[in-house]
Structure 1
Amino acid sequence: MFLVPANAEPETPCNTLTVSGNPEYPPLLWRDEQHPGSLVGAVPALLREITEPLGVNVEVRDIGSWARVQHLARQGEIDMVAGAFITSERIGYMDYLLPPITHLPTAVWVPKGREFVYRHWPDLAGKRGSTLINNSFGQNFDRYAEQNLRIEGVRSIEQSFQMARVGRVDYVLYEVLQGEVKLEYMGIADEFVPLQTPVSREGLFFTFAKASPCNSFELRERIAERLYELVDSGRVDELVRQFKAIYTGAG
């Protein structure tokens, strides 16, 4: 730790961080219709509560699909990703901040009346699934799915649910929380059910792009310290409830 004169210029102008994330992730993250080009939700709100006392601003931008967000993080064209599961590939180009924001179970969502027995991953063999392109549900499941399952990646989760409604796929893979609010927003919450056994339960993390010029050990530690305080206080659960009401009310 060292002190610099009050009038000294910082070595890197990182008073503002460019952040993005999965735009299909309500109530944690979604496109802000009131401010096109921005993302809103519980996770951006949490990040601002972390960074504002540190004198750091964040611009949480809508830069396209989740696959594009990951590509730009790899290139260092954004500084942070607001919510990602851990995979060995992502560890190669992102630094994960502890603790996780929250833990999210992922469900097999099926149209009512077309439920099937699901106890473990092999029960999905021979069936057709759908989810977002480049979505991860934990590295172990991802590896199993790539080798054994038929899961079509699409650009929006609404498309996945509509495909299931008309019988083009048998199930949709999506987190329980996000599935509940997305289906309610679409007005078809009574048409789908999550099968009881989750396929995974993964921690969701803030990450810094390794190639970002703003990625420093000191800044990561300062953010992580504030993150721990807010997670420990139950603030994440409060924000999730708040933004769930905002998102579903907007529908």
Structure 2
Amino acid sequence: MAYGQSEGVCDTLVVSGNPEYPPLLWRPADNPSTLVGAVPALLREIVEPLGIEVKVKDLGSWARVLHQARTGELDLIAGAFITDERQTFLDYIQPPITWQPTHIWVARGREFNYRYWSDLRGKRGATLINNSFGQDFDRFAEDHLSIEGIRTIEQSFRMAKLGRVDYVLYEHLQGHAKLARLGLEDEFVDLLPPISSEPLYFAFPRNSACNTEALRSAFAERLAEATGDRRIDRLLEEYTDRYLNEK
């Protein structure tokens, strides 16, 4: 049965995601109660033809997004990596939206030799609270590294610039966008290789009333069409320009 013909149809999705994630997601200056970006734009293209309205909320932090997803106050997370812990309360939709390489960002002039995760031992890192970079790295970091969770990535970069931490863990695309917007792009470098490259997904909280087999199936079918057309790549170009030119 096609979505829309079944009983109990969900006509509105309350959505949120990581507000520190431009050009995929960010809090616009002219409407700080919501989030905009390539991922919300893709989401609307997927679900509005199904007769579903999308309401994207800014919840203030990624940690709060995950909390409200766990309690069922959200209907969809617009962009999350898979972890065992998150799979206890989220249903991830295949295929992924895109893949996200995560880099080590250091203040220019404070570069250090890096090839393997073990090269980070004894150094101080910073990233967003509750950020995941793939389960293998997360486990290694928990056992062997010192990485502080910070509320905003801007604060993490400023701490690195002041020498309070040695590096910042942040995704490649988002790092370039954030630093360009802050006017700090020439003051940081990203070290290679990436620490990980993880698929990013839409995910339905299991406690959401909108999380039904019919909607997940229709959603996945339309997402597969969009990813097959590489629609996210064109949206990323468009929203990178919007983010960097936002007043």
TM-score (norm 1): 0.96
Q: AA paired with 2:10?
A: C
Matched to 1:35, the amino acid is N
Paired amino acid for 1:132: L
Aligned match of 1:66 in 62, 66, 72? 62
Q: Distance in 2 between matches of 1:133 and 1:207?
A: 19
Counterpart of 2:82? 86
| Deviations 1:99-127, CA, capped at 9 Å, x for gaps | 00000100000011111111111000000
Find 2:46's aligned residue among 15, 34, 50.
50
CA 1:119–1:4: 2 relative to 1, 3 Å: closer
**Cα deviation digits, residues 133-168 of structure 1 (max 9, x gap):** 000000110111011000000100000000000000
Aligned to 1:137: 133
Aligned residue pair count: 247
1:4 positional shift: 9.0
In the superposition, the TM-score normalised over structure 2's length comes to 0.97
3-state secondary structure, aligned to 2:77: strand
Aligned pair in 2 of structure 1 residues 69, 3: CA closer, same or farther (>3 Å)?
Answer: closer
1:126 to 104, 117, 122: 122
Matched, 1:100 2:92: no
Unaligned runs of at least 5 residues, structure 2: none
Rounded Cα–Cα distance in structure 2 between residues aligned with 1:206 and 1:83: 5
- Partner residue in 2 for 1:117: 113
Alpha-carbon distance, 1:32 to partner: 2.1
1:191 pairs with one of 158, 162, 187: 187
Quick check: 1:12–1:213 contact (8 Å CA) kept in 2? Answer: no
| 2:221 aligned to which of 225, 231, 245 | 225
Q: Which runs of 5+ in 1 are unaligned?
A: none
CA RMSD of aligned residues (A): 1.5
In the other structure, the counterpart of 1:17 is: 13
Which residue identity is paired with 2:117? Answer: W
Specify the alignment match of 2:150 in structure 1: 154
1:244 aligns with 2:240: yes
Aligned AA for 1:98? Q
Using the TM superposition, name which of 10-19 and 111-120 deviates more: 10-19
**Residues 169-191 of structure 1, C-alpha deviations (whole Å, 9 max, x = no match):** 00000000000000000000000
Q: Deviations over 1:67-120 (max 9, x none)?
A: 000010000100000000000000000000000000010000001111111111
CA shift for structure 1 position 13? 5.6
* 1:75 is the counterpart of 2:58: no
The answer to whether residue 134 in structure 2 is matched with residue 164 in structure 1 is: no
| 1:129–1:210 distance in 2 versus 1, CA, 3 Å | same
